[in-house]
Structure 1
Amino acid sequence: MTKPAILRPDTLPVNDRGNGARTIPLVTRGCGSTSMINGITAFDPGAKIGVHFHNCEESVMILEGEAVAEIDGQRHHLRAGDTTFIPPNVPHRFLNESDKLMRIFWIYADISASRTMVATGIEQTIDDEHEKAKRL
């Protein structure tokens, strides 16, 4: 039986995603999850990630700062508390076009979630991304 867990982001490893983005994985297989994963990503001013899509549903909540979400080619300006729902295979990305830190909380609805980069077509599981990431 899987046990409950209390996860404290300030005590967990931080993964450098490059381009001014850093991720803290929270709920993962490592704590016993069998159906979802989530975490927090911080974006420095000017940071952005490439356009990509996932093989499952994703929800993102803005925790801090202001964000631009590009979803299926449309730009949406978001602030703390705003939350997105993105169905599988919909191209999207998040950008911090402000001069302050932006943080998001993300949830993937599948423990085997993957990310496919639109520019390259390269697909990688989120587990593999975390495993290969540079630790800060």
Structure 2
Amino acid sequence: MVDYLVSNVKEVKMDRVPVNGSKNAFIQWLVTKENGANYAVRKFTLLKDGIIPMHIHKYQETVIVTKGKCKVCVSDKVYELREGDYIFINSNVKHAIINEGDQLEFFCIIDYSDDMRIITLDEDCNR
């Protein structure tokens, strides 16, 4: 646990997104419980044709788009998000994110729930 943390996004390891079926999608964990936080701040980068398929999880999340544009399927609706847009997604609400440009970047803030599993759904984000 730390009293504070100063860093740069470029210094944080980039991993593939662990959601089954994800394509050209990468994640960086910036602030985590290992730092003493009760929440996590993550940065996602989706390259051209990048996708995080339909899935659910118990934790809540807020997605804030900082670069590019995307389609977000949430519940039974579809939204187009661009730089500066954000969306809150409650726990156990199905959702997917599809990059609709060259490169998409967004920050995602989540809480820590007692179950951090991600369940991929056999559904497409078609609308």
Quick check: TM above 0.5?
A: yes
Q: Determine helix, strand or coil for the equivalent of 2:52.
A: coil
TM-score, length of structure 2 as denominator length: 0.84
Q: Determine helix, strand or coil for the equivalent of 1:7.
A: coil
Q: Deviations over 1:88-129 (max 9, x none)?
A: 10000111022x11001001122654322123xxxxxxxxxx
Q: Determine helix, strand or coil for the equivalent of 1:4.
A: coil
Question: How far apart, in 1, do the equivalents of 2:39 and 2:72 lie?
Answer: 22
Task: Name the residue aligned to 1:91.
Answer: 94
Task: Name the residue aligned to 1:124.
Answer: none
Structure 2 unaligned segments of length 5 or more: list them. Answer: 123-127
Q: Determine helix, strand or coil for the equivalent of 2:80.
A: strand
- Percent identical among aligned pairs is 21
Q: Any conservation in 2 of the 1:20–1:48 contact (CA below 8 Å)? A: yes
Kindly report which structure 2 residues correspond to 1:13-24, keeping only aligned pairs within 5 A, or say none: 13-17=13-17, 19-24=23-28
TM-score, length of structure 1 as denominator length: 0.79
Coordinate RMSD, CA, aligned:
1.8
Cα–Cα, structure 1 residues 90 and 111, in superposed 2: closer, same or farther, change >3 Å?
Answer: closer
More helix, by proportion:
1
Q: Determine helix, strand or coil for the equivalent of 2:66.
A: strand
More strand, by proportion:
2
Identify the match of residue 103 of structure 1 among 97, 102, 105: 105
Q: Any conservation in 2 of the 1:58–1:107 contact (CA below 8 Å)? A: yes
Runs of 4+ in 1 over 6 A off after TM superposition: none
